[in-house]
Structure 1
Amino acid sequence: MAKYYIFITGGVVSSLGKGITTASLGAILEARNLKVTLMKLDPYINVDPGTMSPIQHGEVFVTEDGAETDLDLGHYERFLNSKMSRYNNLTTGKIYSDVLRNERNGFYLGATIQVIPHITNEIKKCIIRAGKGFDILLVEIGGTVGDIESLPFLESIRQMAIEIGKRKILYIHLTLVPYLYPSKEIKTKPTQHSVKELLSIGIQPDILICRSDRLVPKYERSKIALFCNVPEKAVFSLEDIDSIYRIPIFLNKQGLDNYICHRFCIKCPKADLSMWETVMHQKKNTIGTVIIGIIGKYTEFPDAYRSLIAALEHAGLKNRLIIDIKLINSQSLEFSDISTLKNLDAIIVPGGFGYRGIEGKIIAAKFSREKNIPYFGICLGMQIAIIEFARNVIGLMEANSTEFIKNCKYPVIAKISEWNYRKKSIFNTYKISTKMRLGNQKCYLKLGSLAYQIYNKSIILERHRHRYEVNNLFLNKIEKSGLIVSGWSHNKYKLVEIIEYPKHPWFIGSQFHPEFNSNPRDSHPLFISFIKAAHNYQNKKNF
């Protein structure tokens, strides 16, 4: 059990930035030498986001222990030093699944299963488990107050104040304070109604954070405090600002963390936000701009590539460069010319699933390889590079992945169980689960390779999310033709983890997702090197 709990709810509309606000507050409290972790409660019925479309839900963030979680956990890890786990994301579907499993196993001794107490008890148990060993657990409640789906979560956090004690519980409500341009007025009524809805559930917010496109003036904050039954000093303004990494500094200057520590009677040092000041200094003092093309099929929905976009921005900070990201739909490359690729300083093909847009990604990989444009293939992007190389360098024109063409002539990418489907006697030596590889996996780097130079170590840990692998039966032909394997898995099957093309200035593919290990303070070595290569390519191109 955590020593203290902070619950963050949202009102009026969704997408106000609860996740980033929660992460920013966590960062400030962590900067006061407090041990902090965060949790996301999602109201949808899915057990986890793993099978959800990126178009609907955005990216799936993978934790070190292999959980497929909400993208907000990516924000949490980018703002905090502590790592998230499968216990930091909870869905309605997971709760009901666990309760029903317990019921089938006779755990409730024949009792009638109800939302109260069985569902709410399970929610509270999971919240307490997530906070074990921490000073403060911040819990973000997905959705908005008034949603039917969120009611069991809201009821659970209401009960916790009674069971644990109000002195250890604090409720923060994030709400919209819109500015109406025709009348030139800031309107507080939506916030009043949102708090009223929260009160009807039995929760009185202790702190209000008012989201607006401008600073909410003192008069409006006083009005909100009066109508919402909170102290005036507990009403904070969060306006639109130029960088999400400025939010910890912005909230700290208003005294949000001081108010919380005083409320909990916590004695701790003042927040040391020097690292965030360094980040903002790097953002202000840039020497140029590089154009990076992300070749994907969810390009109308940037949240599908949220961690990747963030990792590129982090590497830009380290190289003192502005990153101009172009989201290019891979299908458009299949039906039109490739002029959109010509102005890029580097190309990334990210992870993904399904055949749609694959040929366009292969076109992008070929263009990058032939034109010496820095190329970074991540997960599927690495597999795309293998397919393209097999077709256009080795001459295996029917090379493909069994994910796309089940019985393709040259399955250079396949599940391990499919590697030897034409040689059953050999197949028996490769019996392995075909379930998805998830979470941290060890990777051994080849001495002297570019990857080894970038990491400056021989063993690394990176996060995976994939089912298909490079087919080892084709590796001899691939490596003889000039592509090298510079990273291998730690298990006996020696799976390909990193590939390089030494004849190219910067051509790397990784089977893992390095973007999940990037943050604005440190960035990731692969991304730092990639952005540096993009800048070098730009300089040569413009020379």
Structure 2
Amino acid sequence: MRNTALVAECRDIALMAKQPRYIFITGGVVSSLGKGLASAALGALLQARGYKVRLRKLDPYLNVDPGTMSPYQHGEVYVTDDGAETDLDLGHYERFTGVSAAQSDNITTGRIYSEIIAKERRGDYLGATVQVIPHVTNEIKDFVLSDAGDVDFVLCEVGGTVGDIEGLPFFEALRQLGQELPRGQCCFLHVTLLPYIAAAGEMKTKPTQHSVKELRSIGIQPDILLCRSEREIPEGERRKIARFCNVRESSVIQGLDAKSIYTVPLAYHDEGLDREVLNHFGILAPPKADLGTWQAIEETLSNPDGEVKIAVVGKYTVLPDAYKSITEALVHGGFANQVKVKILWVEAEDFETKEPEDVLKGANGILVPGGFGERGTEGKIKAVQYAREKKIPYFGICLGMQMAVIEAARNLAGMDAASSSEFGEEGENVVGLMTEWTKGNERVERTKTADLGGTMRLGAYPAILSESSLVAKAYGTTEISERHRHRYEVNIDYRDRLEATDLHFSGLSPDGVLPEIVEIPTHIHPWFVGVQFHPELKSRPFDPHPLFKGFIGAAVEQSRLV
């Protein structure tokens, strides 16, 4: 019997050596507790100990992807190098770990059902009745386990909260994986809320108890609880949670509100989150965590050399999550220049009743982000004109570049009717719908009547920069690759007329057909750049994007002139 047990144990160890360990992150009580941030921070802490990680997101909603969802519903759409439109939490994952996400790292109920129905129509199920169990749960498990690569840990976050009807198939799939994976190869981390009732002067553990009870009723016993709270958790409450939720007291981890998301890895490390995870997996003597990068970031946050004000002129400014990656990239640019960045959110439609001077005065830099539709575009054009004429650093991203081109066409090139075909066919459309382009070795074609979902120019594409340009100096190279998400493009046929106004086309697609970057030379304007791609998607706190670094640097110089 002993030999049999030893053989089984050796077999399990061998299996574990060949396969990654899995950490499943779930949430309870309420949404917006920071599961995505907790997943990203934990991934960063495991990396700091020398482990390789991969992070994934399971979204229970029925959309195939968030590409067609309103930013008011879902926040920004995060785009990967391979062209996937994904949940914004994947941006957290990339920013904290530097590991590029892919199509295989985000899945939704809609995508799962689309694949299952396609298989059923082909007859892949050989006449079987297609059901949630096993067909839907098997599809989820295949996604979780597939294409993990050579990593030590795979962290999978489940969107929503335990108890949501749409999340049940995902929780069931994870329950099954907990039994099917080799013993000791998975960990369940549950994020909950400990509210403080000021009138009673007490912190309440009951919501956490009920959340864990709901999770256990599904068949999942959490191994670690990350308890979000505004106040320190008393030892008595910690013991109570451990007792009633059936976890070790050391596994009740306190997650206090932080002054910045970039201090969270250090805070969670101090609370022992990574240590407790590794203990769960039987790794009792892990490598020491090298947190020097995060400590340097915290130092910059605590002791900036100054502050700059950046006006972001958009159409979704009432929900800052619609511009989450831009917000963070601006902060990263501040890190690179040792300054604090204060963002002034400006609704583009405000310029219909207010003058730019009244709204933008005091801004050290102006950024116009991407967007869709005509609403607010005239306000954005006014913001571009104000930045150009007042010599304020300007950064236009995607639609923000197109607005810069239209502004120059109208006010400098004498094309009073300059516009975009996105806003109608009237006028002189210097920006138009792309109908075909090259991706790799293939030609991609689109029509105006095509489906909206997944039909844009998506993912990473190369560009060639002019050698003497501002952007080439910022990048330190003339060959770049950046992520795109757009359906309309500046018409190259207008290049000569626009460059006569000193708005130079300093970046083009390798075939010279698609304008990627426009800029005004620095002897005319201190910093004026528009890009068709989304550089914010590749910025990291420990590796700020060069264009955001340059933009904030120019804003710092501008602030010194005031």
* 1:2/1:137 contact within 8 Å kept: no
Counterparts of 1:524-543 in structure 2, within 5 Å, are 524-541=545-562
Equivalent position of 2:473 in the other structure: 453
Deviation at 1:2, TM superposition (A): 4.4
Given the superposition, is the C-alpha separation of residues 268 and 418 from structure 1 closer, same or farther in structure 2, using an over 3 Å criterion? closer
Task: Give the residue type in structure 1 aligned to 2:530.
Answer: G
TM-score w.r.t. length of structure 1: 0.95
1:333 to 343, 351, 358: 351
Shift of 1:177: 0.3
Q: Contact 2:40/2:93 (CA < 8 Å) preserved in 1?
A: yes
Distance 1:82 1:305 in 2: 21
Q: How far is the alpha carbon of 1:246 from its aligned partner?
A: 1.2
Q: Distance in 1 between matches of 2:23 and 2:153?
A: 7
Aligned to 1:424: none
Q: Work out whether residues 209 and 244 of structure 2, in 8 Å CA contact, stay in contact via their aligned partners in 1.
A: yes
**Correspondence list, 1:74-473, <5 A:** 74-266=91-283, 268-338=286-356, 339-405=358-424, 407-417=425-435, 432-433=445-446, 435-473=455-493
2: CA distance, partners of 1:337 / 1:57: 31
Question: Residue 462 of structure 1 aligns to which amino acid in structure 2?
Answer: E
Asked whether the 8 Å contact 2:436–2:444 carries over to 1, the reply is no
Going from structure 1 to structure 2, the CA distance change for 1:94 and 1:2 (only over 3 Å counts) comes to: farther
CA contact (8 A) 2:369 2:398 kept: yes
SS of the equivalent of 1:167 reads coil
**In structure 2, distance between residues paired with 1:185 and 1:521:** 40
SS in 2 for 1:498: strand
How far apart are 1:279 and its partner, in Å?
A: 0.5
Deviation, 1:270, is: 1.5
Structure 2 Cα separation of the partners of residues 354 and 411 of structure 1: 15
SS where residue 499 of structure 1 aligns? strand
3-state DSSP of counterpart to 1:291: strand
**In structure 1, distance between residues paired with 2:163 and 2:436:** 50
CA deviation map 1:97-124 (0-9, x unaligned): 1111111111111111000000000000
Q: CA RMSD in A?
A: 1.5
- Conserved 8 A contact 1:293-1:326: yes
Task: Find the residue that maps to 2:422 and give its secondary structure.
Answer: coil
AA paired with 1:450?
L
Cα distance in 1, alignment partners of residues 361 and 555 from structure 2: 13
In 1, Cα distance between equivalents of 2:270 and 2:477:
40
Q: How far apart, CA to CA, are the structure 2 residues paired with 1:135 and 1:456?
A: 34
Q: Equivalents in 2 of 1:150, 1:232: separation in Å?
A: 28
Q: What is the rounded CA distance, in whole Å, between the counterparts of 1:487 and 1:139 in structure 2?
A: 38
Instruction: Compute the displacement of 1:273 (Å).
Output: 0.9
Structure-2 separation of matches of 1:249 and 1:351? 33
Q: Determine the C-alpha separation between the residues in 1 that align with 2:445 and 2:31.
A: 43
Q: Say which SS state the counterpart of residue 150 (structure 2) adopts.
A: coil
User: What SS does structure 2 have at the residue aligned with 1:403?
Assistant: helix
What amino acid maps onto 1:523 in structure 2?
P
CA gap 1:77/1:8 in 2 versus in 1, 3 angstroms:
same
Alignment of 1:522 onto 2:543: yes
User: Quick one: which amino acid aligns to residue 423 of structure 2?
Assistant: F
Pick closer, same or farther for the CA change 1:417–1:146 going to 2, 3 Å: closer
How far 1:238 sits from its partner (Å)? 0.4
Paired position in structure 2 for 1:474: 494
AA partner of residue 319 (structure 2): F
User: Which ranges of structure 1 fall in alignment gaps of 5 or more residues?
Assistant: 420-429
Which residue of the partner structure matches residue 32 of structure 2? 15
Please state how far the C-alpha of 1:184 moved relative to its aligned partner.
Answer: 1.0
Q: Cα distance, 1:415 vs. partner?
A: 1.9
C-alpha distance in structure 1 between counterparts of 2:240 and 2:182, whole Å: 29
C-alpha distance in 1, partners of 2:419/2:296?
Answer: 46
One of 502, 505, 516 as aligned partner of 1:485: 505
2:76 aligns with one of 59, 66, 73:
59
Secondary structure of the corresponding residue to residue 227 of structure 1: helix
Q: Secondary structure at the match of 1:394?
A: coil
Q: Is the 8 A contact 2:27 2:191 kept in 1?
A: yes
User: What secondary structure does 1:100 align onto?
Assistant: helix
Whole-angstrom distance in 2 between the partners of 1:431 and 1:85: 20
Give 3-state SS (helix, strand or coil) of 2:175's partner: helix
Deviation digits for residues 322-346 of structure 1, max 9, x if unmatched? 1110110000112222201112111
User: Equivalents in 2 of 1:464, 1:297: separation in Å?
Assistant: 20
The corresponding residue for 2:532 is 511
Letter in 1 for 2:534: H
TM-score (norm 2): 0.92
After superposition, give the CA deviation of every residue in 1:210-269 in whole Å (9 maximum; x if it has no partner): 000112121111100000000111110001111111111111122221222222133641
Following superposition, the deviation at residue 418 of structure 1 comes to 10
Deviations 1:502-528 (A, max 9, x none): 121110000010000111111111001
Instruction: Letter of the 1:442 partner, please give it.
Output: P
Aligned to 1:497: 516
- The alpha carbon displacement at 1:132 in A equals 3.5
Q: Distance in 2 between matches of 1:223 and 1:81?
A: 38
Q: Is the 8 A contact 1:178 1:212 kept in 2?
A: yes
Q: Deviations over 1:50-79 (max 9, x none)?
A: 000000100000011110000000000010
Shift of residue 133, structure 1, vs aligned partner: 2.6
Judge conservation of contact 2:98–2:540 (CA < 8 Å) in 1.
no
1:131 CA displacement: 2.5
- For the residue of structure 1 that corresponds to 2:412, the secondary structure is helix
Higher alpha-carbon deviation: 117-126 or 82-91: 82-91
CA-to-aligned-CA distance 1:466-521 (integer Å, 9 cap, x gap): 0111101111111122110111112x352111100112111000001000011111
Secondary structure of the residue that 2:184 maps to in structure 1? helix
Instruction: Show structure 2 runs of 5+ residues with no match.
Output: 1-17, 438-442, 448-454
Give me the whole-angstrom Cα distance separating, in 1, the residues matched to 2:92 and 2:66: 16
Mapped to 1, the partners of 2:321 and 2:427 lie a distance apart of: 36
Structure 1, residues 21-62: CA drift from partner, whole Å, max 9, x if none? 110001001111111011111110000000000001000000
**Whole-angstrom distance in 1 between the partners of 2:327 and 2:315:** 15
- Cα separation, 2, equivalents of 1:204 and 1:336: 57
Contact 1:66 1:86 in 2 (8 A): yes
CA distance in structure 1 between the partners assigned to 2:132 and 2:326 by the alignment: 39
Tell me: CA distance 1:105–1:493, structure 2 relative to 1, closer, same or farther (3 Å). farther
Cα distance in 2 for partners of 1:195, 1:51 equals 34
CA distance in 2, matches of 1:255, 1:483: 54
Letter in 1 for 2:122: N
Number of residue pairs matched by the alignment: 529
Letter in 1 for 2:549: I
